[in-house]
Amino acid sequence: MAELAGLVQRLEGGRWPSIKNDGLSAWSKWYCTYRLLPPAAVSVYVDAYDSLISGPVAQYLALSQKIGGDVQKHADMMKQAFACQRQLLVMASGSQKPSDVSSAIQEVQSFRELHRSSPLFNHLSAVSESVPALGWVAMVSGGALLPPPMGPQLDTSRWLTPAEANQVTPLFASLNKGSGHHQGLKHVSDDQKTHKNPALKGPGGPLRSGPKPFSSPKAAAASPARSLPAVLELDGKKWKVENQEGAQGLVISDTELKQVVYAFKCSNSTLQVKGKINSITVDNCKKMGLVFDDVVGIVEVINCKDVKVQVMGKVPTISINKTDGCHVYLSPDSLQCEIVSAKSSEMNVLVPGKDGDYTELPVPEQFKTVWDGKKLVTTATEIAG
């Protein structure tokens, strides 16, 4: 046990390999040297996790090292998250409930939110979409930690696709012409310029001077709004709920732990998600109601207005970003949930009491920051009235 404790301390101390051009081989050597248990004693799911780390994860870290900048910093955070996850896997059989990794997951996602102006934002977004897969360790069943039936998988379908790249490339090419942007324009001679020839402005010769008779303005013909088809379908491992208008009683029941739900541009609708899934994202929705059982990763509400979220089971983290009006109803089993908010207003958390009634608590929107001589100290302030 003393040897095991020493190895754990070395892992917590950040003994990670530096990944350069030989990143894959360096990662493999490190895992051979610093495994927390001898090969014979490693559980099946820990061995499978090591294969994942030495394969696609090592390749991701090596490529991030080559890209550098924000992507490399983001990858270092992911590396630490994977380290915490492996430590939990090794000790899971002898532990009742490990400390969750929600703080590490939130750090990865917060970095993405704080670097939206980064030219590498699409890379950061792709990674942030996958990190909730690590959150399953916060869920227990029957007092025992259960390994996931899947490894973390990148889902970049929300970000730039090859088809989108083909569409924007000609646009940027035309914008990047610089001083040569006028070369495609036709030259206008002096006899065709209206400011030198006022008669050209009217069909019947020179313009008439004096006031013109009053005529009521004609209403411009409004272009019909393009309505997109409503979508409720499973695409691979993603449930797509899009463009739902006034749809009350939407239900997703045939779910699996590896699946995610993405609700986009829905209004005046309600959605219920049954079972235990990986994550839920509500994006650009208005007057939307969401009810779900269990989420092992994160529930994210972004760019929404007047949204209500009700937890029936458990969820480790709820993130609210750029949202005006969000009510979160917690269940007795989800009182340990972390709620992270940014650039949002009118947020309230409703906590159940012993009698079943809810107590509504507002989330602070105003903060006070002072310098204490060594660092900035920020505290929430209450607005009177």
CATH of the domain at 21: 1.25.40
| Structural domain includes residue 75 | yes
**CA dist., res. 79 & res. 85, Å (int):** 10
Residue 101 lies in a domain: yes
What is the domain range of residue 80? 2-156
Based on the domain organization, do 240 and 152 belong to the same domain? no
The CATH number linked to 305 is 2.160.20.70
Query: Both 142 and 282 in a single domain?
Result: no
Last residue of a domain, one of 156, 175, 197: 156
Task: Tell the residue number behind the tokens 């079943």, with chain if given.
Answer: 356
Tell me, yes or no, whether 13 and 149 share the same domain: yes
Q: For position 220, what pLDDT does the model report?
A: 54
Quick one: residue 124, left, alpha or beta (phi over 0 = left, psi -120 to 50 = alpha)?
alpha
Q: Are residues 150 and 243 in the same domain?
A: no
Full pLDDT tens readout for the chain, 385 residues: 455 455 445 544 544 444 444 444 444 444 444 444 444 455 677 778 888 888 888 999 999 999 999 999 999 999 988 888 888 777 775 555 555 567 788 788 888 888 888 888 888 888 887 777 777 666 654 444 444 444 444 444 444 455 544 555 554 454 445 444 445 555 566 666 665 666 665 555 555 555 555 455 555 555 565 678 999 999 999 999 999 999 999 999 999 999 999 999 999 999 999 999 999 999 999 999 999 999 999 999 999 999 999 999 999 999 999 999 999 999 999 999 999 999 999 999 999 988 888 999 999 988 899 999 999 999 988 654 3
Are 237 and 127 found together in one domain?
no
What pLDDT, on the 0 to 100 scale, is given for residue 129?
79
The answer to whether residue 205 is domain-embedded is: no
Choose the final residue of a domain: 133, 156, 179: 156
175, part of any domain: no
Q: Are residues 235 and 377 in the same domain?
A: yes
- 120 with 243, same domain? no
**Judgement on whether residues 151 and 240 belong to the same structural domain of the protein:** no
Q: How far apart are CA 104 and CA 298, in angstroms?
A: 12
Q: Which of 125, 124, 105 is nearest to 316 (CA)?
A: 105
Whether the CB-CB separation of 369 and 376 falls below 8 Å is answered with: yes
Report the pLDDT value the prediction gives residue 28, as an integer from 0 to 100.
Answer: 44
Residue 112 counted as domain residue: yes
The answer to whether residue 84 sits within a structural domain is yes
Which residues, 6+ apart, have CB-to-CB distance to 149 below 8 Å?
257, 258
Q: Please give the Cα distance from 321 to 325 (Å, whole number).
A: 11
Task: Count other C-beta atoms under 10 Å from residue 304's C-beta.
Answer: 25
Q: Is 217 a member of any domain?
A: no
136: how many CB neighbours lie within 10 A of its CB?
A: 24
Final residue of a structural domain among 156, 172, 201: 156
In the chain, the number of structural domains is 2
* Closest C-alpha to 97, from 375, 293, 314: 314
Within this chain, do residues 247 and 148 fall inside the same structural domain, yes or no? no
Q: What is the pLDDT of residue 145?
A: 47
Do residue 241 and residue 152 come from a single domain?
Answer: no
Q: Same domain for 8 and 149?
A: yes
What pLDDT score was predicted for residue 34?
44
**Is 127 a member of any domain?**
yes
End-to-end CA distance of the chain: 59
Domain match, 20 and 145 both: yes
Distance separating alpha carbons of residues 36 and 159, to the nearest angstrom: 37
